[in-house]
Structure 1
Amino acid sequence: MQLKEKDMVYIQSFKHDGSLHRTWIKGFVIEASEQRIVAVTDRAWVVESDGRKWLTREPAICFFYPDKWYNVISMIRKSGIHYYCNLASPSLYDGEAIKNIDYDLDVKVSPNGKWIILDEDEYQEHGAKMGYSKELDQVIRSQLRFLLNDIRHHRSPFDPDEIYQFYEKYQQLLKELRASRQ
């Protein structure tokens, strides 16, 4: 089953040991191709592995790739576009949800382009606890370098104009969906 524009989809993130890490209750698909799935979460419920629930505060354009070891959440705030990048297995849609394995390392990018790598201690701890192989570590470190290079060169999705265009598309698709229901 293939996702298409205007579909609603669950998003699930797991840990290396197979345990559920986090679930987004709904994402609104605005692009689905062999290269990526782009979905918007806007006031979406998020459920953590410990059962805590919270509601996202702002619209976010989320990018999931079948061939990259990361996904990108671009949050639209008054201060500009903030990016949160998760080092994770390539994402797949299995008919139930967009799924990936979260590998702890994250990169946070501010509107001015400055970035910081987060959770290196968590990556080391989980790597030892869950047995991340040397090969897996090499892949993740290599993909982190690719991700940082994309950030530095403002390649998709690290171009604010692209994010605002996707947000406009989202608003237009919502308008069309509401009109078709009347």
Structure 2
Amino acid sequence: MHTRERECQGGKYIERSSRKLSRINSDFLFYNLFELEIQESKQKGLDMSMDFPKPGDILRIESYKHDGTLHRTWKRSVVLDGSDSLLLANKDVEVMEADGRRWISEGLAVCQFHRKHWFNTILLFGSEGFHRYYCNIASPYRYENGKLVYIDYDLDLIADKHGYYRWMDTDEFEKNRCRMNYPIEVLDRVEEAVSELERRVRTCTHPFHPDFVQAGYYLFLTYAKQLMG
């Protein structure tokens, strides 16, 4: 099979072409594990579709890095809409870093996670209302045992409500993709997600649209009591 490879040299990847047999990647990749479960279940005639949380459920968000180390956790979020594109909200939530430090993320955050897209989106609200979008390049999520889990791939897009945006943590991405040896499949998905987010923000397409922001806010008001309980 004809494949592309990237060789890490001096902190940067050099792309080259080669022919080699495909192999199972043993890295810490939730999406690979989930897809493998689906394929095996279909072969056995079983229904292995993911259980989705219900609106009003409280869950914990856990973010990991590619090598399996814990990155960050958000203690309590309420489910606003349960589906492949899962909508959550938290307010003044306790956040724990990988080193054990804890802090409070002040204000309201409405978050959307996907089963098919390699990014998630956070709508950030302050005392004067909505003020910016914060998007993480990340693996599709997994949900199990009251936890939403995903892998963070370093790059962050920040956009204001007028459509002006910038990328953050590009140096961290360059460092980690060499240090953790991101496979070509992951790098391809990251590139696709970057292009897709830029296309959406330039065209004011979901989630970069006032209607989505307004809908998320009013859904939060519906379930705010569950979160504060």
| Separation in 2, partners of 1:151, 1:161 | 14
Aligned ranges 1:147-166 → 2 under 5 Å = 147-166=197-216
Match of 2:124 among 58, 75, 82: 75
| Separation in 2, partners of 1:58, 1:51 | 22
Kept in 2: contact 1:6–1:29 (CA 8 A):
yes
Structure 1: 5+ residue stretches without partners: none
| Separation in 2, partners of 1:67, 1:167 | 24
Aligned to 2:143: 93
**Deviation of the 1:170 alpha carbon:** 1.5
Aligned to 1:16: 66
| Separation in 2, partners of 1:172, 1:66 | 24
Q: CA RMSD in A?
A: 1.7
Match of 1:37 among 86, 90, 94: 86
SS of the equivalent of 2:111 reads strand
Please list every run of at least 4 consecutive aligned residues from structure 1 whose deviation after the TM superposition is greater than 3 angstroms.
none
TM-score normalized by structure 1? Answer: 0.91
Number of residue-to-residue matches in the alignment: 177
Kept in 2: contact 1:87–1:104 (CA 8 A):
yes
| Separation in 1, partners of 2:52, 2:182 | 31
Q: Does 1:112 align with 2:162?
A: yes
Kept in 1: contact 2:78–2:223 (CA 8 A):
no
**Deviation of the 1:167 alpha carbon:** 1.2
Kept in 2: contact 1:14–1:102 (CA 8 A):
yes
Kept in 2: contact 1:44–1:56 (CA 8 A):
yes
Kept in 2: contact 1:105–1:119 (CA 8 A):
yes
Kept in 2: contact 1:81–1:160 (CA 8 A):
no
Kept in 1: contact 2:56–2:80 (CA 8 A):
yes
| Separation in 2, partners of 1:129, 1:147 | 26
SS of the equivalent of 2:89 reads strand
Aligned ranges 1:165-176 → 2 under 5 Å = 165-174=215-224
Match of 2:95 among 46, 56, 65: 46
| Separation in 2, partners of 1:32, 1:5 | 6
Q: Letter of the 1:89 partner, please give it.
A: S
Larger radius of gyration, structure 1 or 2? Answer: 2
